Amino acid sequence: MPIIEQLSHTDLERLALDRVVPALLTHGFYFVDGLLGEVAGGAVLDEVKQMHGSGALHDGRLAGSAPGVHRRSIRGDKTAWVSGSERGCEAIGFLLNLIDRLISVCAGRLGNKVIRERSQAMVACYPGNGAGYVKHVDNPNSDGRRLTCIYYLNKNWNVKEHGGVLRIFPEGKGYVADIKPLFDRLLVFWSDRRNPHEVQPSFSTRYAITVWYFDSEERAEAKRRFKTVTAPAHSRTAAPPD
Ligand SMILES: COc1ccc2cc(-c3cnc(C(=O)NCC(=O)O)c(O)c3)ccc2c1
Ligand SMILES: [Mn+2]
């Protein structure tokens, strides 16, 4: 299927400079709808459905959980990690390239941090059995993750029926932000303690693709710390694969 480029580079620059950067600097998060358009977004969705149908998604892991606490009670998604260059991930690769270009335009204007690298993409499915993800911070302990980017893939999502809202509790703000996991929506937010968030129980299959962008210095320092401190396995701070 031909992938029609929806956003010219100028559009991407305008989106980054006029929308994403100002929102990150004031509210700490931003979402945009219609990122890829129906055709390219639909191609990404087809690839994710194919992965799910072929059994490529497995129970998501936890950074470090207290013994005896049942993982599913904390995090109920199934995930797979892709680079986007795998066979059957061409549309996902196109999406990741577009998000890379968007974030690289933003990076120079987000303060003195150097955002130059990112994690692999985490393809996630909340199966719709009421599972969600309890309130958490993606990067509570300076593991290098600076920005979380989540691309949602859910058509005809009805929150009253399906739940699955991502609720962000912006630190120090008097409000919460309820983000519906709608098809072709991209959400960007600071990964650290500024943005505790939860995935509310989902009652329909809920697909998303997440990438984390690293602050190179914080990431390098975290790797040094990780190597030198022989922390017991269960207590280690987890971070997605590079
Ligand atoms: C041990 O290695 C790892 C590697 C990656 C990990 C990723 C998550 C994670 C974090 N946040 C969310 C989330 O907030 N989703 C919001 C939404 O879908 O709207 C999510 O689905 C998954 C948790 C633990 C991990 C451990
Ligand atoms: Mn999270």
Number of neighbours of residue 122 by Cβ within 10 angstroms: 19
What's the pLDDT score for residue 148?
98
What does the pLDDT profile of the chain (242 residues) look like in tens digits? 455 556 888 999 999 999 999 999 999 999 999 999 999 999 999 999 999 999 999 987 666 655 666 666 777 899 999 999 999 999 999 999 999 999 999 998 998 677 889 999 999 999 999 999 999 999 999 999 999 999 999 999 999 999 999 999 999 999 999 999 999 999 999 999 999 999 999 999 999 999 999 999 999 999 998 886 644 544 444 567 77
Substitution site in 48, 119, 122, 162 for ligand 1 pocket (most atoms within 8 Å of beta carbon): 122
177 lines ligand 1 (CB under 6 A): no
For residue 170, the model assigns a pLDDT of 97
Task: Determine the pLDDT at residue 6.
Answer: 64
Distance 138 CA to ligand 1 centre (A): 7
CATH class of 9-60+73-226: mainly beta
- 207 Cβ inside 6 Å of ligand 1: no
Strand 29-33, strand 145-152: pairing = unpaired
ipTM of the complex: 0.96
- State the ligand closest to the CA atom of 119: 1
pLDDT of residue 116: 85
Residue with CA closest to ligand 1 atom 23: 62
- Residue to probe by mutation, ligand 1, list 48, 58, 61, 178, most atoms within 8 Å of CB: 61
Predicted structure pTM score: 0.91
> Helix H segments across 177-235?
216-228
pLDDT at 72: 67
- The closest-lying atom of ligand 1 relative to the alpha carbon of residue 164 is 19
Cβ of 164 closer than 6 Å to ligand 1, yes or no, is no
pLDDT given at position 234? 47
pLDDT at 63: 62
**Is the Cβ atom of 240 under 6 angstroms away from ligand 1?**
yes
Cβ–Cβ < 8 Å for 192, 110: no
The CA distance from 204 to 188, in Å, is: 23
Hey, which residues does 187 pair with through a beta bridge? 31, 150
Q: How far apart are CA 242 and CA 240, in angstroms?
A: 6
Report the pLDDT value the prediction gives residue 236, as an integer from 0 to 100: 41
Three-state secondary-structure class, residue 30: strand
pLDDT at 241: 72
The ligand with the least distance to the CA atom of 75 is 1
Cβ–ligand 1 distance for 138 under 6 Å, the answer yes
Interatomic CA distance for residues 192 and 29, integer angstroms: 12
Residue 111's pLDDT is 82
